[in-house]
Structure 1
């Protein structure tokens, strides 16, 4: 089962040391009960959708925040499990990879739209600047995801850091850009000022990281 994991060097800390090990266990369980990778992908989407619904519509209590976080953490672990299951069983396919990317492409903006909804309803429309920040976060995250995926297919994947060469500190530098870290920050959702401060910090960090990353990918494509 260890061999079914991707190399973790250079990946964000939560993804590397928490989510992928959780995904490995979920993949083993899915294999035991006979689930296909696509079934795991759809199950991941269902957990994520349920978590987004709680964030968007439920009163921002500590119980709701904990429930939403658990749903999203499970959905994220299953997002890692589908690929590991495909590699474990030798059933990987372009169609499965495509489905995984499509679900991810929906998951990223839906999180921020759910947060925008929470900001709007809990303040009765009074904190529109927070709603605008969440919408901006959705745009930035989606553009970065699409730009990274497209760059890989256009040939810039070879410019990435080779597996096994990135030091551990890189994973911690990238931690704020891991959607799993944002899921954990949802635990502070009942305390508006605290969550808003964390969220705005992550937005600014993401804008800077996306700018650097996309510029690097564009430069690599121009050199081909």
Structure 2
């Protein structure tokens, strides 16, 4: 892959950024900007988007292995740092593709496959860590259920995008977009990774993790109901 000069990569990316309105706060103001910087550096090195996706998968996998493999207090912070680093590259691969003009369904598919594997594995690793540290059985069960929930949510989102007709419209006002960004923050993977960092503090982790699971469950059920209604309405038209 031909290298793109650093300054040119920055200019190209600046003119091809996705809108941020309504995107979770961490993704919008931290992860995407860091991913953009990583993408510009990767472009100047001649890296490929699939290579960046692979690096993201390796970092995420390392975080999962650390969390599941080491029943020590430091495993949580170490895993969180690895997962967050992988999350930065998860934003970088798409931005690199836009810099290089290589965006396409194959790269998007690979990115979604990695996301679909990583999301439940994080909670499975949490369950393994909790079991190895002899945590309460109910908390281990919550982690197992969390892995099922995120998989079902991911699948429902993909199917809804495929089955629902595309509707074009004006984006929300800036103020509403900012509010939505903070409201949606709990569902962003970064929130889960930050909570994982506290796994060495059992009481704090149990409160944060079960609260996050409850929030996900409530929003997921509401999302299912809304999307089912949208699909029925689309069929009746």
Bin for the TM-score computed over the shorter chain:
over 0.9
User: TM-score scaled by structure 2?
Assistant: 0.88
Aligned-pair distance for 1:74?
Answer: 0.7
Question: Structure 1 144/37 Cα, relative in aligned 2: closer, same or farther at 3 Å?
Answer: same
1:132-181 superposed Cα distances (whole Å, 9 cap, x missing partner): 1011111111111110111101125538x853444311111111111111
TM, length-normalised to structure 1:
0.93
Per the alignment, residue 164 of structure 2 pairs with 155
What is the root-mean-square deviation in Å for CA atoms of aligned residues? 1.6
Q: 1:3 to 1:149 in 2, by over 3 A?
A: farther
Aligned to 2:104: 93
Counterpart among 117, 129, 146 of residue 106 in structure 1 = 117
Aligned position for 2:219: 209
Correspondence 1:140 to 2:149: yes
1:8, distance to aligned residue in structure 2 (A): 1.2
| Runs of 5+ consecutive residues of structure 2 not aligned to the other structure | 1-12
Give the number of equivalent residue pairs.
220
Q: 1-side partners of 2:166 and 2:137: how far apart? A: 39
Relative to structure 1, the CA distance from residue 135 to residue 100 in structure 2 (aligned partners, 3 Å threshold; closer, same or farther) is same
Contact 1:4 1:85 in 2 (8 A): no
For each residue in 1:66-111, what CA deviation from the matched residue of structure 2 results, as whole angstroms up to 9, or x when unmatched?
Answer: 2211111110010111111111111011111111111110011000
- Unpaired runs of 5+ in structure 1? none
Which of 34, 51, 76 aligns to 1:65? It is 76
1:5/1:24 contact within 8 Å kept: no
Say whether the 8 Å CA contact 1:109–1:139 is kept in structure 2: yes
Q: Distance in 2 between matches of 1:163 and 1:88?
A: 24
- Counterparts of 2:165 and 2:71, CA distance in 1: 44
2:23 corresponds to: 11
Larger-Rg structure: 2
Partner SS, residue 158 of structure 1: coil
Partner of 1:170: 180
Structure-1 separation of matches of 2:66 and 2:196: 11
State the secondary structure of the residue aligned to 1:32. Answer: helix
